[in-house]
Chain A
Amino acid sequence: MSGRGSSSRITDEEINELVTKLQSLLPESRRRNIGRASASKLLKETCSYIKSLHRDVDDLSDRLSALMATMDANSPQADIIRSLLRS
């Protein structure tokens, strides 16, 4: 992008494609369907999105941990979970 080294044979089209793909993933742009956003806006939204995904993983880990902890050892639940994990 900065045209620094001779190794970057990346074309403008490739950059545009990357930006479009990234934009299509971000939650906000899907709702508003804006045209090509500014570089700083794209970066900001990508950062926010990654952070929110990290929070989701953290929350799901909490819930899975709580679920496994409260699992009654003899329940059919525990049995199925164990059989899934054994394979």
Chain B
Amino acid sequence: MQATKSFEQAFLRHLLRGFRLSAVSYKSMSLQERKSAIKLSADVAMASARGSRKWTRGLITKLSREDEHRSFLRLILGTEYGRRTKPRHGSWKIPRSKKIVRRSLRVCSRRKNNLRAPHGVKSGVLARTLVEKRTHALKRLVPGGESLDGCSLLDEALDYVISLRAQVDLMQKLLTTFEAPKLRALSKCTLPERKASFVGK
């Protein structure tokens, strides 16, 4: 499964725009500053190109929490900034559902212990706890995943993985494009041809 061509093209467009706005190619900055700017551009470009999904909204919200990201986000999102950086749900929802889950887990394990179930059932409880633990880990990895459950979480994770792969792919292509040998050949083409050959691969 792959990201669509139009997504890749939008991604590239947004990425280059982000690089331009943060002046990474000519402004003098430390290696770390440049790296952070590049990474920020890459993440915002990925979310912008993908459109409206739980993880894209979660990612923009997460990025806007860092002070040093805000000026770039304001610049690149423009009038959208206020709307897109507001968290969609109140935080009261999350602690409450966690309490319920914890309470129900405690009740379940108490019931199991009281029944002195055979070995098979005990490992069943263990397996369920492992799934719980790993689901929580996945929720933390997928932006906006904290408020998702089961199927929706897997759905978002799938979409997020596909987009991440496209991000890695795009940045890899950029890196190879910027290297000297290929540039000699590319310098003979016009700019639209260069861009077309870049995304078409």
- Chain A residues with CB under 8 Å of chain B are 1-2, 4, 8, 10, 14-15, 18-19, 21-22, 24-25, 38-40, 43-44, 46-47, 49-51, 53-54, 56-58, 60-69, 71, 76-78, 80-87
Contact = CB atoms under 8 A, between A and B. Distances in A.
Nearest to A87: B191
B144 to A, nearest CB: 14
B151 A10 contact: yes
Given A68-B24, A71-B25, A39 B131 contact: yes
Contacts of B162: 25
B26 interface: yes
Query: Looking at chain B's contact residues, is the secondary structure mostly helix, strand, loop, or mixed?
Result: helix
Nearest to A49: B161
Given A22-B158, A49-B161, A65 B151 contact: no
Contacts of B183: 76-77, 80
A52 to B, nearest CB: 10
Interface string B169-201: 001101100111001101100010011000000
Contact of A65 (B38, B167, B187): B38
Query: Looking at chain A's contact residues, is the secondary structure mostly helix, strand, loop, or mixed?
Result: helix
B126 to A, nearest CB: 10
Contacts of B130: 40
Interface in B93-137: 127, 130-131, 134-135, 137
A38 to B, nearest CB: 8
A57 B134 contact: no
